[in-house]
Amino acid sequence: MKYTLLLSIAVSTLLVSCSKKDGDKGPSDEDILHKKVEDIIPQKYLDTLQRLKLNINGGVTPPNVEGSYSIRPSILDTSNIDTDSPGTEFHPGIVHFSGQNSKDFSIKLIGEHFVGISDTSIATAISGSGNDFTVYGKIKSVNGSKSAIIALIITATKDGDHLRNFKIGIINIDNSNGAGVFIPEGKGRVAHDQDLISEKITSKKAATENSRVESLSIRHLGLIYQ
């Protein structure tokens, strides 16, 4: 009798355990995306950019945005830097998206002329729904002996082959080795593409455009300027 009772308890425990395991589907898409974004930009800095009127397109069904796009030029919308003036023109830029993965919300991001000549993201994610999307990138930018960790957030709407209403937010999230070169930690800027349409470009055209603008003495979004 005692053996039968113990066997019954053991079988019941096993069934409950298996039931829990079978019902455990792991983290949701929302949880996966949230963790990725947290690893890229601390919430307090994302909040700062949102206070500067950078809209964030949430959701776990972003459009495919792979390709290269021309931002000519970037015009300052808002900033929490006292010496900045809305309407300031910044260096024309190019953004490259590749390797977009709909399962883990990863995407590769390379920017040109936003903080430096080339800004390669060391951690990136994408959110969105319909044609609206937001890409979150974290870059380590080096300028001589100085460096900083910069969050670069891009939000736009996919419109055929091009992007519409492109906005970019840049904020310094670690300036421990960047004093005097990069904008201070916690300081950020939000800018838009001047004509509101960011054209998709070929690699050949991108190289041509870069060679034409590299010599221009125009401010970069992530750097201090006088």
Question: Could you give the C-alpha distances from 60 to 64, 77, 108, 135, 166, in angstroms and in order?
Answer: 12, 27, 17, 12, 20
Q: Which one has a higher pLDDT value, 203 or 9?
A: 203
> Beta-carbon neighbour count of residue 6 at 10 Å?
10
* Contacts of 87 by beta carbon, 8 Å cutoff, 6+ apart: 75, 76
Determine the number of helices (DSSP H) and then strands (DSSP E) in the chain.
4, 12
pLDDT beyond 70 at 68: yes
Alpha-carbon span 210 to 70, nearest angstrom: 10
Token pair for residue 196?
């509101």
Mean pLDDT of all residues in 98-109: 96
Cα–chain-centroid distance for residue 184? 19
**Peptide bond before 27: cis, by omega within 30 degrees of 0?**
no
Mean pLDDT of all residues in 81-94: 93
Cα–chain-centroid distance for residue 2? 63
pLDDT beyond 80 at 224: yes
Give the model's confidence band at 6: pLDDT under 50 very low, under 70 low, under 90 confident, else very high.
very low
Whole-number pLDDT of residue 15 = 44
Given a contact cutoff of 8 angstroms between Cβ atoms, the answer to whether 141 and 148 are in contact is: yes
> In terms of residues, how long is the chain?
226
Whole-number pLDDT of residue 118 = 87
What pLDDT, in 10s, does the model give residues 151-205?
Answer: 999 999 999 999 999 999 999 999 999 999 999 999 999 999 999 999 999 765 5
Task: Pick left, alpha or beta for residue 94 (phi over 0 → left; psi -120 to 50 → alpha; otherwise beta).
Answer: beta
pLDDT beyond 70 at 132: yes
Nearest Cα neighbor of 136 from 114, 158, 121, 120 is: 121
